[in-house]
Structure 1
Amino acid sequence: MKWPIGALAVAGLAAGTVAARRKSAEPDRWLGVTVNLPPDEVENDPRLREAFATLAEDAETRLRPAPGGRGTELAAKPLQPPASGLGGAARRLAGRDPRQPVRSALRDIKSVLETGEVLRTDAPTTGKPTPGGMLVRLATRRAGGEGRL
């Protein structure tokens, strides 16, 4: 099927506009998690104060009730803006994006407050280094810093 040049230009312009809008909003973006506990219980927990104290040099933090009374939102905004363009993508893939340790810390705080310990995934169980196993290891390692695959 042949696409008309005008349709391709419109699609490219729309994608570029969305990407530009996302990039411009990215530096001020708060990263957050929702803890399934009431705000007063979370606020008075000494483990939260310790965790937020360790994040203080990397990010600004805040705590507020989650919408609909469904727990507590913990949020952090990295103080160092992420790099953009190809350099930013390379830093992100290499695990040197300033947002990655903040995301990891928020997930760890959520885990400790809800379960009492930091939960980690098990290592892949493949015995031989196969191409498929290599992809699983890469995705698992990336998910640790990103919070998603």
Structure 2
Amino acid sequence: MKWPMGALAVAGIAAGAAAARRKSADRPNRWLGVTVNLPTEEVENDPRLRDAFAALAEEAETRVRPAPGGRGTELAARRRDPGPGGVAERLAGRDPRQPVRSALRDVKSLLETGEVLRPDAPTTGQPTPGGALVRLATRRAGGEGRL
């Protein structure tokens, strides 16, 4: 099958853009953020936010601003000293950004629901290979914020 030259150019540009996004996502000192579904004024005046961000004050800088499109409030943080980071550290569970991710996810949950929500434990009664994978994914999701 012969590909038209325009289609190859578009595919090449798309692949280059995807690689650039992956590269920028691995920067160890990039801002990590969550969007809270509450007005900015309400979030800024909430003492729970001050308490949560006070716990991060030593290791991270934080910011609060309106989310794009008037869709709530954006909370963001990044480590002051990024240290080593990257895919290898994340896979090994030693990413220095993990406490910042967890704190942002916890404060979002606290502000929106009034409590920090945790995933339920896997319901498998017998240790099986599939159950081991579920337990690993659940344990890792706590630091990443997603499976």
Q: Note closer, same or farther for the CA distance 1:20–1:48 as it changes in structure 2 (3 Å cut).
A: closer
Output the CA distance in 1 between the equivalents of 2:25 and 2:119: 34
1:107 correspondence with 2:108: no
1:29 correspondence with 2:27: no
**Per-residue CA distance 1:80-129 (angstroms, 9 max, x = gap):** 32525xxx444322322111110110000001101110000100000111
Q: Which residues of 2 match residues 1-149 of structure 1 at below 5 A?
A: 18=19, 22=23, 26-84=27-85, 88-149=86-147
Output the CA distance in 2 between the equivalents of 1:23 and 1:44: 33
Q: Which runs of 5+ in 1 are unaligned?
A: 1-6
| TM-score normalised by L of structure 2 | 0.81
Q: Note closer, same or farther for the CA distance 1:132–1:53 as it changes in structure 2 (3 Å cut).
A: same
CA RMSD of aligned residues (A): 2.7
Given that 1:65 and 1:72 are in contact with CA atoms closer than 8 Å, whether structure 2 keeps it comes out as yes
Output the CA distance in 2 between the equivalents of 1:77 and 1:25: 13
2:4 alignment partner in structure 1: none
| TM-score normalised by L of structure 1 | 0.80
Question: What is the CA distance between 1:50 and its match in structure 2?
Answer: 0.6
Given that 1:82 and 1:97 are in contact with CA atoms closer than 8 Å, whether structure 2 keeps it comes out as no
| SS of residue matched to 2:27 | helix
| SS of residue matched to 2:28 | helix
Determine which structure has the larger helix proportion and give its number.
1
Output the CA distance in 2 between the equivalents of 1:24 and 1:67: 20
- Aligned length in residues: 137
Partner amino acid, structure 1, of 2:102: S
| SS of residue matched to 1:27 | coil
Q: Note closer, same or farther for the CA distance 1:20–1:137 as it changes in structure 2 (3 Å cut).
A: same
Q: Note closer, same or farther for the CA distance 1:26–1:123 as it changes in structure 2 (3 Å cut).
A: same
Partner amino acid, structure 1, of 2:38: L
Output the CA distance in 2 between the equivalents of 1:107 and 1:143: 11
